[in-house]
Amino acid sequence: MAMDRETLENHLKDAFPEADIILTDLAGDNDHWQAEIVSPQFAGVSRVRQHQMVYAALKGKMGGELHALALKTRAPS
């Protein structure tokens, strides 16, 4: 079972309530997503740690319901 946009967005908004989040369905199958997340929580945090924070927000769904997620993360300018 794939993860739909609403479910993915809800997980991300719960973890990053002040973030600007743009989701793109890369393959049109609700299974291969790109997420662009601009969050104040990422200020002063390494890119690797930012991605770890996103994966933690998905509560173990990565690789199961969510097959592929391309991440672009940064703090606001």
CATH of the domain at 22: 3.30.300.90
With a cut of 70, which residues of the chain have pLDDT below it? Answer: none
Q: How many structural domains are present in the chain?
A: 1
- pLDDT at res. 29: 85
Q: CB of 51 within 8 A of CB of 74?
A: no
Contact 37, 72 (CB under 8 A): yes
Token representation of residue 25: 């369905």
Predicted local confidence at residue 65, as pLDDT: 76
pLDDT at 33: 93
Q: How far apart are CA 39 and CA 17, in angstroms?
A: 8
Domain limits at 40?
5-74
Q: What is the pTM of this model?
A: 0.90
